[in-house]
Amino acid sequence: MPEAATLPSVDDALALGLTREEYELACVKQGRPPNQVELAMYSLLWSEHCAYKHSKRLLRTLPTEGAHVVMGPGENAGAVDVGGGLVCAFKVESHNHPSAVEPFQGAATGVGGILRDIFAIGARPIAVLDSLRFGELSGAGASDRVRYLLDGAVSGIGHYGNSIGVPTVGGEVYFEGPYEQNCLVNAMALGLARRERLVRSAAAGPGNVVVLFGASTGRDGIGGASVLASAELGHDGDGGEDRRPTVQVGDPFEEKKLLECSLELLDRELLVSLQDLGAAGLTSSASEMASKGEVGIDLDVARVPLREPGMEPFEIMVSESQERMLCVVEPHRLKDVMSVCEKWEVNGAAIGTVTDSGRMRVLRDGELVGDMPVTALVDECPLYDLFPQRPAEPLYPPAAATLAPEEPARATLLALLSSPNIASRRPLFEQYDAIVQSRTIRRPEQADAAVLALPDGSALAVSIDCNGRRVAADPYRGTVEAVLECAANLACVGAEPLGTTNNLNFGNPEKPHIAWQLSESVRGLGDACRSLQAPIVGGNVSLYNEGSTGPIYPTPVIGMVGRLPDARLAGRLGFARAGEQLAVVGPFAPSLAASELEKLHGAALPDGLPEIDIDAVAAAQDAVREAVRGGALSSAHDIAEGGLAVALAECCLAGGLGARVRLQASASPLVELFGEGPGGFLVSGSEQALRALAERTAVSPIGAVGGEALAIELAGEAGAVSLQATLEELSTAHSQGLKEFFS
Amino acid sequence: MKFGVLQFPGSCDEIDALAAARRVGEAELIWHRDRDLGGADAIIVPGGFSYGDYLRAGAIARFSPAMESVIAFAGEGGLVLGICNGFQVLCEAHLLPGALLPNANLRFTFRQVELDVVRPDTAFTAACVLGERLSIPAKHSWGRYYADQPTLRLMEDSAQVVLRYASGHNFNGSVEDIAGVRNEAGNVFGLMPHPEHAVDELTGGSADGLSIFESMRLAAEGAVGAGVGDA
């Protein structure tokens, strides 16, 4: 191999994000110092983003097997059996740092990336959900930058999803100070495939051809995985502008053609294996395909269609240009593959060969410019133990108070309804096409989970959730709650969980208090998923989410997919019939700890959340699910942020009907009205339906549906409270909260 | 009765349109490079982002081989329905008057809208009654219908405005609340809202859109005229 004039030094390795020890290990693996191409490839594949080197040991503790699991972690996406010969592929991924630098393209390419993961395993994408976190929108600590990030990210998600014809059916957004400098943009996608049509990414068959197809390769996104995704964002008020060139630019039209082309190639059984190009571009795609197939790959970078002249081999190997796929093809099928590419006006180029050498070899016009053992690149990155330590001092300052504790109950309810974390999400989701592909049975704000029709008359349900403030207060229980809330959302539409995906968004795991958050959170994730029999089929980890003011709230975003037998009986959240009975269902023990109300009051985060009886909550979910899918309940809603009073208001608004409620308070009126905790549902139905439900779980009748207002009378030892608000007043508060930020 | 549904690179709602058309008749896709319309009795130009909507929405699709055949088909009196991007394509092809501009709010907006049927005597609304209100989803960023005053008066004279947004539903800012227009001959019709997404209560919020396809079937089978001269 020709020697470069000067080999890169250890300082170059450090600049690329490797440690001194990792560089030395790479020298051992190579038997010599790596050259520029090799060092670039090691630095990416040994980055946190690609190698999960701080999280892999924890992730191995998660439950990944279950009755419905068809494809577990390790492939581009996980998949569960949904009956009728179909599987649902799904996964959530983050694009946090790119979005913090350039929100429109960062969010757009986040959607593009997760969609490629879905069709890379042969599934047609059928839905997108997103999970967003930003700093405070208003009040002390709010900045114009937060509005810019929010507006840009929402537009970017819409631009990509709408243009490619995949509906955005749900999502969540929270506004909290700790996300001010490090917003979170997580995107989840679902796809459908016939079970036998799923394809894996392992390269196989020495002599087979490696074909790159899709967009041409440019200098965009170079170093995204190592420089952006695996390090803290800049200090000293650096918004990351100097890193903007490391953000990729998306083209949904190109991806739409790529999607149709990929699915046609698979339909015609022309491919041995398929893999998308995401973080670390060709480097990670080719190496991972080779590793999974226990083969080698030779790639000639001179055959890669380029967007600009003069690109160096290492640039071609690490470029993160979007909308590209890599496949392995038997030589006699190459012509057919190229003609499908031509039909869809997609660039296809044979750029390499599968070998039996076990080596990843990079050539330029036949001349060897990089040569590495595949196992060293992919499987031998050092893994690190965490050194968790519970923090002695609170990590997060309290939010600025925006509501006086002595405000009357009515004003408190209206303030909560218009607060950014509870206000109607309509200004966001109206920017997304929620119905293309004609499967969407429940659109946003119609039910707790999105519901998508399946061909056999059954339906999929999907929910995404995480309340980072509660995880910050108690990483273990907060994470358990996030999983339980997803399952509760599914229960409200009548669906049982089939599988779970997650995106662990945390700060720098090399810091003991972040290591503690991460390990406690993963423990909670595992416990909750085991109890609900909702195994983890895939996911992603995003670490180093910190700015100069400290870490984000620990945010293990949970996505859960479930199924209900009869699509026509999918539950709704809105009250449906005047005169029907209202009840609180389940082992609901409200508390103000880490609640939205405490946030508005400016209270500090508590040290810990109340204990949870996971099995009792799961039993209540079972009961509600059965009642909904049997058609017994007219509405079902999970009691979450803002407590019972907010849940009542949301059901009134969704159904256009008021309610008269009488509560006997054992705790203080504020706790009764606005306290939060897992395990509670607000349902409406006939007296008979509620009596039947009471045989399975706790049911407390609280009033009846009807009228033009929500009227609550509360009596108890701590005092009597009565509040009344018309539907119009509730609607004004709820609908205006976020509207002004999108004007 | 056979519908042909065009498919461009970047089409998104062609499968939905195909399924909706199949509720009232036969339907097949027509690839954008094909000039052969496969003996279709009516053509649907579907929604989406044909050719990425680069240059201008619908501006490139209008020159595709399949569209050249559709223009000839329309010239011979064949029924053509353009939905959303399809409406934009038909305006670009001058099969329909006017143009679609960016929404007044400058954002992509998805909303269930109510439409008033102001002409039930057309090949596309014969299954409706005068004043009937259709609940149909709309989703677009370039849906603000515009035509200059002389054109609007000509359209009025020949009864070319078929659907209007009901009061409070004209979110895109279309001139005179115009939601759906036909050509002077009455055989070409375009609208921004998506009737193909309102053919089933379960997924559409209503099945009101079905009457558009049903009307086309009636017209193709000769049960109603194209509405020419009915004004």
B16 closest CB neighbour out of A431, A434, A437: A437
Location of structure tokens 């939060």: A676
A253·B107 Cβ contact <8 A: no
Task: Nearest chain A residue to B13 by CA: give it.
Answer: A436
| B184/chain A closest Cα distance in angstroms | 31
Interatomic CA distance for residues A651 and A628, integer angstroms: 16
Interatomic CA distance for residues A79 and A90, integer angstroms: 6
Q: Of A672, A597, A682, whose CA–CA distance to A641 is shortest? A: A597
For residue B229, the model assigns a pLDDT of 37
Interatomic CA distance for residues A262 and B146, integer angstroms: 39
Per-residue tokens: A26? 């790479």
Contacts of B204 in chain A (CB under 8 A): 435, 438
Task: Nearest chain A residue to B198 by CA: give it.
Answer: A438
Q: Of A609, A600, A719, whose CA–CA distance to A668 is shortest? A: A719
B203·A344 Cβ contact <8 A: no
Q: Measured between alpha carbons, how far is residue B158 from residues B92, B93, B132, B177 in Å?
A: 21, 20, 21, 17
What backbone phi and psi angles, to 5 degrees, belong to B28? -135, 155
Global pTM value: 0.94
For residue A6, the model assigns a pLDDT of 74
Location of structure tokens 């003609």: A339
- 3-state SS string over A612-653? CCHHHHHHHHHHHHHHHHCCCEEEEEECCCCHHHHHHHHHHH
Q: Which of B12, B136, B192 to mutate to test the interface with A (most CBs of A within 10 A)?
A: B12
DSSP-derived letter for residue B207 is S
Q: Does the beta carbon of A344 lie under 8 angstroms from any beta carbon of chain B?
A: yes
Interatomic CA distance for residues A370 and A364, integer angstroms: 9
Q: Which residues of chain A have pLDDT under 50?
A: 4, 235-239, 241, 244
**Dihedral class, residue A315 (left if φ above 0, else alpha if ψ from -120 to 50, else beta):** alpha
Interatomic CA distance for residues A225 and A50, integer angstroms: 7
A253·B108 Cβ contact <8 A: no
- Decide if B62 contacts B92 (C-beta within 8 A): yes
Over residues B150-199, the pLDDT tens digits come to 999 999 999 999 999 999 999 999 999 999 999 999 999 999 999 999 99
For residue A740, the model assigns a pLDDT of 86
Over residues A328-364, the pLDDT tens digits come to 999 999 999 999 999 999 999 999 999 999 999 999 9
Q: Measured between alpha carbons, how far is residue A542 from residues A231, A486, A622 in Å?
A: 10, 21, 33
For residue A278, the model assigns a pLDDT of 85
Q: Does the beta carbon of B110 lie under 8 angstroms from any beta carbon of chain A?
A: yes
Please say if the pLDDT value at position B138 is more than 70: yes
Q: Of A332, A281, A279, whose CA–CA distance to A307 is shortest? A: A281
Contacts of B19 in chain A (CB under 8 A): 438
Contacts of B15 in chain A (CB under 8 A): 437-438
Q: Does the beta carbon of B8 lie under 8 angstroms from any beta carbon of chain A?
A: no
Kindly write down the DSSP assignment for every residue of A125-184, as one continuous string.
EEEEEEEEEES-SSSTT--HHHHHHHHHHHHHHHHHHHHHT--EEEEEEEE-GGGSSS-E
Contacts of A567 in chain B (CB under 8 A): 202
| A108/chain B closest Cα distance in angstroms | 14
Q: Does the beta carbon of A458 lie under 8 angstroms from any beta carbon of chain B?
A: no
| A739/chain B closest Cα distance in angstroms | 12
H and E: helices and strands count for chain A: 24, 28
- Decide if A525 contacts A655 (C-beta within 8 A): no
Q: Does the beta carbon of B65 lie under 8 angstroms from any beta carbon of chain A?
A: no
- 3-state SS string over A495-536? CEEEEEEEEEECCCCCCHHHHHHHHHHHHHHHHHHHHHCCCE
Let me know the angle formed at the C-alpha of A428 by A258 and A599, rounded to the nearest 5 degrees.
130
Contacts of B202 in chain A (CB under 8 A): 441, 453, 567-568
Interatomic CA distance for residues A326 and A273, integer angstroms: 9
B16 closest CB neighbour out of A252, A438, A567: A438
Interatomic CA distance for residues A315 and A313, integer angstroms: 5
Q: What residues of B are annotated to the active site?
A: 84, 194, 196
- Decide if B47 contacts B194 (C-beta within 8 A): yes
A162·B108 Cβ contact <8 A: yes
Interatomic CA distance for residues A280 and A607, integer angstroms: 40
B202·A256 Cβ contact <8 A: no
Q: Does the beta carbon of A252 lie under 8 angstroms from any beta carbon of chain B?
A: yes
- Decide if A647 contacts A542 (C-beta within 8 A): no
| A256/chain B closest Cα distance in angstroms | 6
Contacts of A453 in chain B (CB under 8 A): 202-203
Q: Of A635, A640, A631, whose CA–CA distance to A575 is shortest? A: A635
Location of structure tokens 């243009």: A163
Per-residue tokens: B73? 């088909």
Q: Does the beta carbon of B9 lie under 8 angstroms from any beta carbon of chain A?
A: yes
For residue A229, the model assigns a pLDDT of 54
A252·B48 Cβ contact <8 A: no
How many CA atoms, within 13 angstroms, populate the side-chain half-sphere of residue A214? 32
- Decide if A233 contacts A180 (C-beta within 8 A): no
What backbone phi and psi angles, to 5 degrees, belong to A654? -65, -30
The number of beta carbons lying within 10 Å of the beta carbon of residue A295 is 22
B12·A158 Cβ contact <8 A: no
Rg (CA), chain A: 26
Over residues B28-83, the pLDDT tens digits come to 999 999 999 999 999 999 999 988 888 788 888 888 999 999 999 999 999 999 99
The runs of H, that is alpha helices, within B131-228 are: 149-157, 201-204, 210-220
- Decide if B45 contacts B82 (C-beta within 8 A): yes
The number of beta carbons lying within 10 Å of the beta carbon of residue A538 is 25
Please say if the pLDDT value at position B121 is more than 90: yes
For residue A139, the model assigns a pLDDT of 76
Q: Measured between alpha carbons, how far is residue A577 from residues A71, A655, A701 in Å?
A: 43, 9, 16
Q: Position A153: which residue type?
A: A
A436 closest CB neighbour out of B16, B52, B141: B16
Q: Does the beta carbon of B109 lie under 8 angstroms from any beta carbon of chain A?
A: yes
Q: Which of B29, B203, B206 to mutate to test the interface with A (most CBs of A within 10 A)?
A: B203
Query: In terms of C-beta density within 10 A (0-12 exposed, 13-18 middle, 19 or more buried), how is residue A15 classed?
Result: middle
| A281/chain B closest Cα distance in angstroms | 24
Task: Nearest chain B residue to A451 by CA: give it.
Answer: B203
B9·A257 Cβ contact <8 A: yes
For residue A286, the model assigns a pLDDT of 95
Q: Does the beta carbon of B102 lie under 8 angstroms from any beta carbon of chain A?
A: no
Q: Does the beta carbon of B108 lie under 8 angstroms from any beta carbon of chain A?
A: yes
For residue A223, the model assigns a pLDDT of 58
Q: Measured between alpha carbons, how far is residue B72 from residues A271, A529, B68 in Å?
A: 40, 60, 6
| B196/chain A closest Cα distance in angstroms | 9
- Helical (H) or strand (E) element with A87: strand A86-94
For residue B231, the model assigns a pLDDT of 35
- For A351, residues 6+ apart whose C-beta sits below 8 A from its C-beta are A210, A211, A212, A299, A300, A301, A303, A304
B10 closest CB neighbour out of A256, A436, A437: A256
The runs of H, that is alpha helices, within A382-508 are: 409-418, 426-429, 468-473, 475-493
B137 closest CB neighbour out of A432, A435, A742: A435
B108·A165 Cβ contact <8 A: no
A437·B15 Cβ contact <8 A: yes
Q: Which of B106, B139, B140 to mutate to test the interface with A (most CBs of A within 10 A)?
A: B139
| B144/chain A closest Cα distance in angstroms | 16
DSSP-derived letter for residue A360 is E
For residue A232, the model assigns a pLDDT of 64
B49 closest CB neighbour out of A253, A432, A443: A253
Task: State the greatest distance between any 2 C-alpha atoms of chain A, in Å, as a whole number.
Answer: 86
Q: Does the beta carbon of A538 lie under 8 angstroms from any beta carbon of chain B?
A: no
Interatomic CA distance for residues A625 and A710, integer angstroms: 26
Partner B, chain A 559-598, Cβ-Cβ below 8 Å: 567-568
Interatomic CA distance for residues B10 and A254, integer angstroms: 9
The number of beta carbons lying within 10 Å of the beta carbon of residue A61 is 11
B52·A439 Cβ contact <8 A: no
- Decide if A498 contacts A458 (C-beta within 8 A): no
Q: Position B71: which residue type?
A: I
DSSP-derived letter for residue B158 is T
| A216/chain B closest Cα distance in angstroms | 17
| A347/chain B closest Cα distance in angstroms | 14
- Helical (H) or strand (E) element with A209: strand A209-214
